[in-house]
Structure 1
């Protein structure tokens, strides 16, 4: 186990290094720089001082090694677009907002999706199955901005029950959570239904029923536990999607999350902010993949870590 964990950590560091390097050179390959528009109206000496402050006057390889040196010391640099703010502080300030909204939506959406998927599998080819699949198709096909606009029009404009946008009160989370959670409901309902239908035909399920176990015990102890493996696989990417994929929702509901700042940084060529958030996303994704491996072993005792031959 210790050997496996050390090996995975080494792979994680190598992956982070690769992601950071590729992102660095891709950002530098985009025409223009973050100071181009601002520098047009500045005196030449002031312009040179700005470029020197952020190291943009140095050769590309020197900029690269300087950034990697800071990354080793967990220093993500200073944002160019938001002068005086470190990238680390911006991530620390905005990511909890995205995590609060997206995490709530993911938990609620996953729970409802798993329950609906179970119903669809156990009531196959009957009206509950058709209703669940209809909901799943809607969730998979309706764009987020369309659903968000519809929710704002119905519940904020027509009924006046909820605010259309804003942040600061629990009530501001209701509509964004519904919009983000609807996609999770659709995804997990389809995965759980497909996985449960496959598991219900396995020999050990037939054996459990032959032993006289109640249908509830068979479903909860044998079928559902093994059917959750595909859901666990996509749950790791769903957690990362909470931070990376909610920028449309954050924009429409005026939520000051990390996704909104990430898109703004890309549009303004804020090198350090884009680099820092990309590394943050990559680290989060890699850590979640490691967690998934351990969850696999808990859910399915047949999965064991085999030593290299």
Structure 2
């Protein structure tokens, strides 16, 4: 187990190195730079000072080495577009906002989705199954911005019972949480139903029934536990999606989260902010995958770590 953990950690650092390198050169391949329009009206000496401050006057490989040195020393640099704002400080300021809204939506969506998936599997080809699959299809096909617009129009404009945007008050979280959780409900309902139907046909389930074990115990002790493997896999990526995939919702509801600022940084070619946030996303995703590997072995005893 220790050898396996060390190997995975080694792969983690190798992956982070590759992601950081690719992101650096991709950002530098975009025509222009973030200071081009900002410094257009400034004197030449002032322009030169700005370029020197952010290292943009140095050769590309030198900039790359300085960037990697900053990562090793946990220095993500300073925003170019917004001088005085550190990248780490912006991540620390905006990520809790995304986590509070997206995390709430993820938990609610996961619980409801798993429950609906179990119902659909146990009531296959009956009306509960049809209703759950109809909800799943809606959640998978309706774009987020369409659902958000409908919710804002109906609850904020027509009924006036909820605010259309904003962040900081409990009632301002209701609409974005509903919008974000709808996709999770659809995803988990479909995966849990499919996984449960497959598990119900396994030999050990048939053996348990032949021994006279009650259906409730079979479902709770054997079927549901082993059916959660796909849900665990999805949950790990969904946690990252809380920070990366909610920028449309954050924009429409005026939520100052990290996803919104990430997209803004890309549009502004804010090199340090984009690269720092990308590394943050990569670390979060890789760590979650590592945790999932260990959770697999807890949930399903059949899974064992084997050497290559």
- When normalised by structure 2's length, the TM-score is 0.99
* Map of 1:126 onto structure 2: 126
Once the two structures are TM-superposed, the CA of residue 235 in structure 1 deviates from its matched residue by 1.0
> Are positions 1:59 and 2:59 aligned together?
yes
Question: Separation in 2 of the partners of 1:172 and 1:82?
Answer: 28
> Are positions 1:107 and 2:107 aligned together?
yes
Q: Which runs of 4+ in 1 moved over 6 A?
A: none
Question: Separation in 2 of the partners of 1:289 and 1:201?
Answer: 29
Question: Separation in 2 of the partners of 1:16 and 1:172?
Answer: 36
Q: Deviation per CA, 1:11-64: give whole Å up to 9, x if none.
A: 000100000000000000000100011111111111111000000000000000
* Map of 1:41 onto structure 2: 41
* Map of 1:264 onto structure 2: 264
Question: Separation in 2 of the partners of 1:302 and 1:197?
Answer: 19
Question: Separation in 2 of the partners of 1:35 and 1:211?
Answer: 74
Question: Separation in 2 of the partners of 1:199 and 1:167?
Answer: 43
* Map of 1:293 onto structure 2: 293
Question: Separation in 2 of the partners of 1:73 and 1:9?
Answer: 18
How large is the RMSD of aligned CA atoms in angstroms? 0.6
* Map of 1:71 onto structure 2: 71
* Map of 2:305 onto structure 1: 305
* Map of 2:279 onto structure 1: 279
Once the two structures are TM-superposed, the CA of residue 141 in structure 1 deviates from its matched residue by 0.2
Question: Separation in 2 of the partners of 1:25 and 1:164?
Answer: 40
Once the two structures are TM-superposed, the CA of residue 2 in structure 1 deviates from its matched residue by 1.0
Matches within 5 A, 1:139-178: 139-178=139-178
Instruction: Look up the SS of the partner of 2:92 in the other structure.
Output: helix
* Map of 1:25 onto structure 2: 25
Question: Separation in 1 of the partners of 2:159 and 2:208?
Answer: 51
Question: Separation in 2 of the partners of 1:291 and 1:216?
Answer: 30
Once the two structures are TM-superposed, the CA of residue 170 in structure 1 deviates from its matched residue by 1.2
> Are positions 1:226 and 2:226 aligned together?
yes
Once the two structures are TM-superposed, the CA of residue 243 in structure 1 deviates from its matched residue by 0.4
Structure 1, unmatched stretches of 5+, are none
* Map of 2:10 onto structure 1: 10
Question: Separation in 2 of the partners of 1:168 and 1:200?
Answer: 45
Question: Separation in 1 of the partners of 2:44 and 2:172?
Answer: 47
Once the two structures are TM-superposed, the CA of residue 307 in structure 1 deviates from its matched residue by 2.7
Question: Separation in 2 of the partners of 1:304 and 1:201?
Answer: 23
> Are positions 1:193 and 2:193 aligned together?
yes
Structure 2, unmatched stretches of 5+, are none
